[in-house]
């Protein structure tokens, strides 16, 4: 019985291939191919060759025409590669056709990212999300797995072969697994939501670190909090969100959360996995968008992060752009370019600590939002307003006293208007 599971590391030598239609796409394709190479290396697979191939038209069966196909196959054979990895998304049929021609494993960027995610997942929810994405990815590819049965014992018009019957059984099995995994994810999500609501009762403002993978987010978290969260020079070193307390220059304490890194050409099936790991970011009061200034494509990486945030529903969040790794970025032109790309930005090195104090000061300014916190005495009967302050992230302190709840807050919008009658003027901070 066919069962979807992580592939054993049987492959050792990879041939990376990107197919483009127009010459002007080459620079972008080469950049993405470099990124794919890093992903593959993270899986412990040697990259023997990587190439961008331009074609004038699309060939449904193999993507490439016969001449280019043979050229690639000869290179794969000469280099003794045991896997061909497309940076393009390939269909199950194209994957099957290539494997028949090349006699080696053929996968695409989508499957590589799934493998990296599976390797990095630590919590139950992250593991479940990756499992679900892998199951959904594998469903249309079952025919490829059972092709040999169809050859051994085929059926006629009225009689199905063993392979076809087995495929149907396995499809049913996979659909059942998909349904059960979704139920598990729902249960875990409910428990996490309950835990988050409990944390929100503590009147602390929240920050979330977002950005492209390997931008230095975990290193920044460690630098600001003195913690020892795993930080490594590899893609997706962090997959699960991690929260720590950090003290601002005024002595005020906030909660800082590290999140999974973004990446270009993110497989659509992993968007939900990102939603699960980024929920903490989507409810934060302020986003710290960390950018690797030493990367030549930092502007494109910024675009990707913004696009994914928009897709996840966090595009309107208050954001401070943090240009990291200035110790590696000596180009003054890049810094000027960076300043033009973001209105609110700061330049730091999370490795050396340069600029961290300035970053903390800017965070405080952002959270204050130009408003003084005021004191309010809220009657017990109106305690729902206190809950509203907490949800809005503007509750600084609360204390049960005679006559109600004494709070210190900087409410915004409609809530600010509702709180006016409970303001105690003599207590302006």
pLDDT in tens, 72-87: 999 999 999 999 999 9
pTM for this predicted structure? 0.70
Q: Kindly tell me if the per-residue pLDDT of 350 is higher than 70.
A: yes
Q: Kindly tell me if the per-residue pLDDT of 236 is higher than 60.
A: no
Q: With bands split at pLDDT 50, 70 and 90, how would you rate the model's confidence at 105?
A: very high
For range 399-404, the mean pLDDT? 90
Between 275 and 55, the more confident residue is: 55
For 268-289, write each residue's pLDDT tens digit.
Answer: 666 666 666 676 667 788 899 9
Q: Can you give the three-state secondary structure of the chain, one letter per residue?
A: CCCCCCCCCCCCEEEEEEEECCHHHHHHHHHHHHHHHHHHHHCCCEEEEEEEEECCCCECCCECCHHHHHHHHHHHHHCCCCEEEECCCCCHHHHHHHHHHHCCEEEEHHHHHHHHHHHHCCCHHHHHHHHHHHHHHHHHHHHHHCHHHHHHCCCCCCCCCHHHHHHHHHHHHHHHHHHHHHHHHHHHHHHHHHHHHHHHCCCCCEEEEEEECCCCHHHHHHHHHCCCCCCCCCCCCCCCCEEEEEECCCCCEEEEEECCCECCCCCHHHHHHHHHHHHHHHCCCEEEEEEECCCCCHHHHHHHHHHHHHHHCCCCCCEEEEEECCCCCCCHHHHHHHHHHCCCEEECCCCCCCCHHHHHHHHHHHHHCCCCCEEEEECHHHHHHHHHHHHHCCEEEEEEECCEEEEEECCCHHHHHHHHHHECHHHCC
For 253-268, write each residue's pLDDT tens digit.
Answer: 888 888 777 787 777 6
Mean pLDDT (the chain) is 80
């Amino acid at each position: 019985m066919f069962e979807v599971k992580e592939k054993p590391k049987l492959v050792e030598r990879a041939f990376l291939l990107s197919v483009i239609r127009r010459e002007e796409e080459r620079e972008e394709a080469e950049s993405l191919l470099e990124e794919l190479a890093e992903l593959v290396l993270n899986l412990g697979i040697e990259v023997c060759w990587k190439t961008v191939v331009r074609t004038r038209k699309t060939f449904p069966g193999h993507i490439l025409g016969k001449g280019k196909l043979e050229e690639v196959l000869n290179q794969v054979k000469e280099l003794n590669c045991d896997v061909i990895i497309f940076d393009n998304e390939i269909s199950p049929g194209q994957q099957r056709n290539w494997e028949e021609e090349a006699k080696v494993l053929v996968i695409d960027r989508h499957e590589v990212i799934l493998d990296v995610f599976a390797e990095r997942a630590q919590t139950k929810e992250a593991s479940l999300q990756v499992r679900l994405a892998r199951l959904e990815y594998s469903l249309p590819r079952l025919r490829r797995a059972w092709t040999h049965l169809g050859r051994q014992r085929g059926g006629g018009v009225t009689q199905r072969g063993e392979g076809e019957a087995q495929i149907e059984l396995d499809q049913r099995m996979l659909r059942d697994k998909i349904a059960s995994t979704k139920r598990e994810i729902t249960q875990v999500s409910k428990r996490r939501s309950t835990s988050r609501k409990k944390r929100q009762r503590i009147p602390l403002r929240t920050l979330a670190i977002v950005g492209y993978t390997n931008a230095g987010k975990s290193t920044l978290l460690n630098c600001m909090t003195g913690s020892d969260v795993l930080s490594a020079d590899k893609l997706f070193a962090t997959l699960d969100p991690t929260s720590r307390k950090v003290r601002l220059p005024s002595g005020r304490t906030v909660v800082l959360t590290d999140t999974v890194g973004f990446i270009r050409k993110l497989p659509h099936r992993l968007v939900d996995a990102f939603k699960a790991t980024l929920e903490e970011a989507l409810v934060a009061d302020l986003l710290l968008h960390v950018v690797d200034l030493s990367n030549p494509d930092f502007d494109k990486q910024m675009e990707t992060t913004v696009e994914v945030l928009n897709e996840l529903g966090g595009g309107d969040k208050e954001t401070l752009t943090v240009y990291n790794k200035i110790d590696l970025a000596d180009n003054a032109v890049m810094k000027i370019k960076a300043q033009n790309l973001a209105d609110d930005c700061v330049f730091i090195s999370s490795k050396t600590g340069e600029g961290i104090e300035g970053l903390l000061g800017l965070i405080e300014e952002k959270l204050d939002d130009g408003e003084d916190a005021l004191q309010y005495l809220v009657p017990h009967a109106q305690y729902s307003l206190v809950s509203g302050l907490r949800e809005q992230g503007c509750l600084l302190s609360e204390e049960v006293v005679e006559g109600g709840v004494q709070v210190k807050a900087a409410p915004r919008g409609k809530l600010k208007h509702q709180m006016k009658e409970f303001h105690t003027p003599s207590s302006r901070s």
